[in-house]
Protein backbone atom coordinates (compact mmCIF):
# COMPACT_ATOMS: atom_id res chain seq x y z
CA UNK A 1 0.00 0.00 0.00
CA UNK A 2 2.82 2.41 0.86
CA UNK A 3 4.57 1.72 -2.43
CA UNK A 4 1.44 2.60 -4.42
CA UNK A 5 0.96 5.75 -2.41
CA UNK A 6 4.56 6.82 -2.99
CA UNK A 7 4.28 6.04 -6.71
CA UNK A 8 1.03 7.99 -7.00
CA UNK A 9 2.57 10.92 -5.14
CA UNK A 10 5.62 10.85 -7.44
CA UNK A 11 3.40 10.82 -10.52
CA UNK A 12 1.38 13.76 -9.24
CA UNK A 13 4.54 15.72 -8.43
CA UNK A 14 5.95 14.99 -11.90
CA UNK A 15 2.73 16.16 -13.53
CA UNK A 16 2.67 19.34 -11.43
CA UNK A 17 6.29 20.09 -12.32
CA UNK A 18 5.61 19.47 -16.00
CA UNK A 19 2.55 21.72 -15.94
CA UNK A 20 4.46 24.41 -14.06
CA UNK A 21 7.19 24.35 -16.70
CA UNK A 22 4.65 24.61 -19.46
CA UNK A 23 5.93 21.42 -21.01
CA UNK A 24 9.47 22.79 -21.35
CA UNK A 25 12.70 21.16 -20.28
CA UNK A 26 12.25 17.69 -21.74
CA UNK A 27 12.05 16.87 -25.40
CA UNK A 28 8.62 15.85 -26.62
CA UNK A 29 6.95 16.59 -23.29
CA UNK A 30 4.04 18.60 -24.69
CA UNK A 31 1.64 16.68 -26.90
CA UNK A 32 -1.32 18.22 -28.74
CA UNK A 33 -3.58 16.03 -30.81
CA UNK A 34 -6.58 17.13 -32.84
CA UNK A 35 -9.25 14.49 -33.27
CA UNK A 36 -12.57 15.25 -34.94
CA UNK A 37 -12.18 18.97 -34.29
CA UNK A 38 -11.35 18.48 -30.59
CA UNK A 39 -7.95 19.37 -29.21
CA UNK A 40 -6.52 17.02 -26.66
CA UNK A 41 -3.56 18.26 -24.65
CA UNK A 42 -1.29 15.83 -22.90
CA UNK A 43 2.11 15.70 -21.32
CA UNK A 44 4.69 13.00 -21.58
CA UNK A 45 6.04 12.69 -18.08
CA UNK A 46 9.57 11.90 -17.08
CA UNK A 47 10.13 8.30 -16.05
CA UNK A 48 9.66 7.60 -12.36
CA UNK A 49 11.90 4.94 -10.90
CA UNK A 50 11.10 3.14 -7.70
CA UNK A 51 13.79 1.26 -5.87
CA UNK A 52 13.07 -1.61 -3.53
CA UNK A 53 16.50 -1.53 -1.93
CA UNK A 54 18.97 1.18 -1.03
CA UNK A 55 21.59 -0.67 -3.05
CA UNK A 56 19.62 -0.04 -6.25
CA UNK A 57 19.28 3.65 -5.43
CA UNK A 58 23.02 3.91 -4.80
CA UNK A 59 23.77 2.20 -8.15
CA UNK A 60 21.43 4.62 -9.94
CA UNK A 61 23.06 7.63 -8.28
CA UNK A 62 26.53 6.27 -9.05
CA UNK A 63 25.53 5.88 -12.70
CA UNK A 64 24.41 9.52 -12.76
CA UNK A 65 27.70 10.66 -11.19
CA UNK A 66 29.73 8.55 -13.64
CA UNK A 67 27.74 9.91 -16.58
CA UNK A 68 28.36 13.50 -15.47
CA UNK A 69 32.09 12.83 -15.42
CA UNK A 70 32.53 10.94 -18.70
CA UNK A 71 29.84 12.35 -21.03
CA UNK A 72 31.70 15.62 -21.69
CA UNK A 73 34.82 13.60 -22.54
CA UNK A 74 32.85 11.48 -25.04
CA UNK A 75 31.43 14.63 -26.66
CA UNK A 76 34.93 16.08 -26.90
CA UNK A 77 36.16 12.82 -28.43
CA UNK A 78 33.43 13.05 -31.06
CA UNK A 79 34.38 16.65 -31.87
CA UNK A 80 38.11 15.88 -32.07
CA UNK A 81 37.60 12.78 -34.20
CA UNK A 82 35.49 14.72 -36.70
CA UNK A 83 38.12 17.47 -36.78
CA UNK A 84 40.93 14.94 -37.32
CA UNK A 85 39.06 13.22 -40.13
CA UNK A 86 38.45 16.57 -41.88
CA UNK A 87 42.12 17.51 -41.61
CA UNK A 88 43.48 14.07 -42.61
CA UNK A 89 41.54 14.26 -45.87
CA UNK A 90 43.48 17.41 -46.79
CA UNK A 91 46.85 15.70 -46.17
CA UNK A 92 47.87 13.77 -49.27
CA UNK A 93 51.05 12.08 -48.05
CA UNK A 94 50.60 8.97 -45.86
CA UNK A 95 53.74 9.79 -43.89
CA UNK A 96 52.40 13.25 -43.04
CA UNK A 97 49.05 11.70 -42.05
CA UNK A 98 50.81 9.38 -39.60
CA UNK A 99 52.83 12.29 -38.21
CA UNK A 100 49.62 14.30 -37.77
CA UNK A 101 47.89 11.42 -35.95
CA UNK A 102 50.96 10.95 -33.74
CA UNK A 103 51.05 14.68 -32.91
CA UNK A 104 47.34 14.69 -32.06
CA UNK A 105 47.83 11.58 -29.90
CA UNK A 106 50.59 13.33 -27.95
CA UNK A 107 48.38 16.39 -27.40
CA UNK A 108 45.48 14.24 -26.24
CA UNK A 109 47.70 12.26 -23.88
CA UNK A 110 49.03 15.45 -22.33
CA UNK A 111 45.52 16.83 -21.88
CA UNK A 112 43.54 13.76 -20.79
CA UNK A 113 46.02 11.45 -19.02
CA UNK A 114 45.42 13.06 -15.60
CA UNK A 115 41.64 12.77 -16.06
CA UNK A 116 41.75 9.19 -17.31
CA UNK A 117 44.04 8.08 -14.49
CA UNK A 118 41.47 9.17 -11.89
CA UNK A 119 38.63 7.27 -13.58
CA UNK A 120 37.18 4.14 -12.08
CA UNK A 121 36.67 0.96 -14.09
CA UNK A 122 32.93 1.55 -14.33
CA UNK A 123 33.54 5.09 -15.63
CA UNK A 124 35.92 3.65 -18.23
CA UNK A 125 33.33 1.12 -19.37
CA UNK A 126 30.70 3.86 -19.66
CA UNK A 127 33.14 6.05 -21.59
CA UNK A 128 33.80 3.24 -24.09
CA UNK A 129 30.06 2.83 -24.66
CA UNK A 130 29.48 6.58 -24.92
CA UNK A 131 32.24 6.93 -27.51
CA UNK A 132 30.43 4.28 -29.56
CA UNK A 133 27.16 6.18 -29.09
CA UNK A 134 28.65 9.52 -30.09
CA UNK A 135 30.80 8.40 -33.03
CA UNK A 136 28.85 5.36 -34.30
CA UNK A 137 32.11 3.39 -34.14
CA UNK A 138 33.56 1.31 -31.37
CA UNK A 139 36.75 2.44 -29.68
CA UNK A 140 38.50 -0.59 -31.19
CA UNK A 141 37.53 0.50 -34.72
CA UNK A 142 38.77 4.05 -34.07
CA UNK A 143 42.13 2.85 -32.77
CA UNK A 144 42.47 0.39 -35.65
CA UNK A 145 41.70 3.12 -38.18
CA UNK A 146 44.07 5.69 -36.70
CA UNK A 147 46.91 3.57 -35.27
CA UNK A 148 46.66 0.21 -37.03
CA UNK A 149 45.61 -3.35 -36.26
CA UNK A 150 48.48 -4.26 -33.94
CA UNK A 151 47.94 -1.20 -31.76
CA UNK A 152 44.20 -1.90 -31.60
CA UNK A 153 44.90 -5.52 -30.61
CA UNK A 154 47.34 -4.36 -27.91
CA UNK A 155 44.93 -1.82 -26.37
CA UNK A 156 42.08 -4.34 -26.52
CA UNK A 157 44.27 -6.71 -24.48
CA UNK A 158 45.00 -3.97 -21.94
CA UNK A 159 41.30 -3.13 -21.70
CA UNK A 160 40.41 -6.81 -21.19
CA UNK A 161 42.91 -7.00 -18.31
CA UNK A 162 40.93 -4.28 -16.57
CA UNK A 163 37.53 -5.86 -17.29
CA UNK A 164 36.60 -3.60 -20.21
CA UNK A 165 36.09 -4.29 -23.90
CA UNK A 166 36.96 -1.76 -26.62
CA UNK A 167 34.52 -3.53 -28.92
CA UNK A 168 31.56 -2.74 -26.62
CA UNK A 169 28.63 -1.22 -28.45
CA UNK A 170 25.99 1.11 -27.05
CA UNK A 171 22.61 -0.68 -26.99
CA UNK A 172 19.91 1.99 -26.45
CA UNK A 173 17.07 -0.56 -26.51
CA UNK A 174 18.80 -3.19 -24.43
CA UNK A 175 21.19 -3.09 -21.51
CA UNK A 176 21.99 0.63 -21.96
CA UNK A 177 18.39 1.85 -22.01
CA UNK A 178 18.63 3.50 -18.58
CA UNK A 179 21.93 5.13 -19.52
CA UNK A 180 20.36 6.47 -22.73
CA UNK A 181 17.49 8.01 -20.74
CA UNK A 182 19.94 9.57 -18.31
CA UNK A 183 21.85 11.08 -21.24
CA UNK A 184 18.64 12.67 -22.53
CA UNK A 185 17.96 14.09 -19.08
CA UNK A 186 21.55 15.33 -18.84
CA UNK A 187 21.36 17.02 -22.24
CA UNK A 188 18.08 18.66 -21.22
CA UNK A 189 19.74 20.02 -18.07
CA UNK A 190 17.59 18.00 -15.69
CA UNK A 191 20.43 16.14 -13.96
90: confidence class by pLDDT, cuts 50, 70, 90: confident
For residue 12, name the pLDDT band (cuts at 50, 70, 90). low
CB of 66 closer than 8 Å to CB of 19: no
Residue 88 is predicted with a pLDDT of 86
H-run or E-run covering 100: helix 94-117
- pLDDT band, residue 150 (cuts 50/70/90): very high
User: Rounded distance, CA 45 to CA 34, Å?
Assistant: 20
Q: Provide the pLDDT for residue 44.
A: 67
pTM for this prediction: 0.69
pLDDT in tens, 121-134: 999 899 999 999 98
Taking only the tens place, the pLDDT of each residue in 100-128 is 888 888 888 888 888 888 889 999 899 99
pLDDT at res. 22 = 46
pLDDT, the chain, mean: 79
Q: Which of 166, 158, 164 is nearest to 138 (CA)?
A: 166
Quick check: helix, strand or coil at residue 28? coil
Q: What is the pLDDT of residues 152-168, one digit of tens each?
A: 899 899 889 988 889 88
Query: Which pLDDT value is given to residue 51?
Result: 66
Q: What is the pLDDT of residues 29-60, one digit of tens each?
A: 555 666 666 776 776 666 666 667 878 788 88
Distance CA 20, CA 179 (A): 27
Residue 67 banded pLDDT, cuts 50, 70, 90: very high
Amino acid sequence: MKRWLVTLLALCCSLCCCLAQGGRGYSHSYIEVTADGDTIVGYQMLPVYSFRRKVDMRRYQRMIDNLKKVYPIACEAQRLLAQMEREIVDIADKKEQKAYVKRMEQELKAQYTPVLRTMTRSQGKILIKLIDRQTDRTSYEIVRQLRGGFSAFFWQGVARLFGANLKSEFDAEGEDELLDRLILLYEAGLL
